[in-house]
Amino acid sequence: MKPTYLLLAFFAMVAALAALAVPARERNTQRSNPAQTVLEAGEDIAAGNIVVVWTNGLAYAAADTNALAGARAVGVAQGGAEAGRPVLAQRGKFRLDNPGALLTAADVGTDVYVAGPASVTTQAAASQDIRAGVLSGMATSNTDGTNNAVWVNIGW
């Protein structure tokens, strides 16, 4: 076979393979901010409160109570919301109160649990074990002027 025929055969194979390939169809996939969730508030929720979703699918201000047993933390309220209205829950790293300074630097990287609307504690101290997030560090001060504050990754 002459080199010209080999070259022509090669190009014919390449063209045949290219004809078999189906080009991918472009698609306009909608997206939202992955760090935000909008939920209907089951009660009045103040800005800055940890937002939990209960088994009925409604959002509530976090609390370590029997009424919220089984709830999941999804973020922190960005702007308040009245019951029945939408609340925007932002996921991320937040500075929260650490009542009683139960959490220490030795706890960094562990799960922390809801103590109140803007506070977290250890699993041993929480009565309902509603997981708030992961402790990511100790903060310098909290809202009451003490050094009992922590950084927590919520909603991931």
Q: Report the pLDDT value the prediction gives residue 5, as an integer from 0 to 100.
A: 67
% of the chain beyond a pLDDT of 90: 60
Written as six digits, the tokens of 24 are: 């991918």
Q: pLDDT tens for residues 36-87? A: 888 989 999 999 999 999 999 999 999 999 999 999 999 999 988 999 999 9
Are 40 and 86 in contact, with CB atoms under 8 Å apart?
Answer: yes
Query: Which is more confidently placed, 35 or 64?
Result: 64
Are 62 and 130 in contact, with CB atoms under 8 Å apart?
Answer: yes
Residue 92: is its pLDDT beyond 60?
Answer: yes
Query: Which is more confidently placed, 110 or 9?
Result: 110
Distance between CA atoms of 126 and 47, rounded to whole angstroms? 23
Under the banding of pLDDT at 50, 70 and 90, the label for residue 28 is confident
Distance between CA atoms of 8 and 5, rounded to whole angstroms? 5
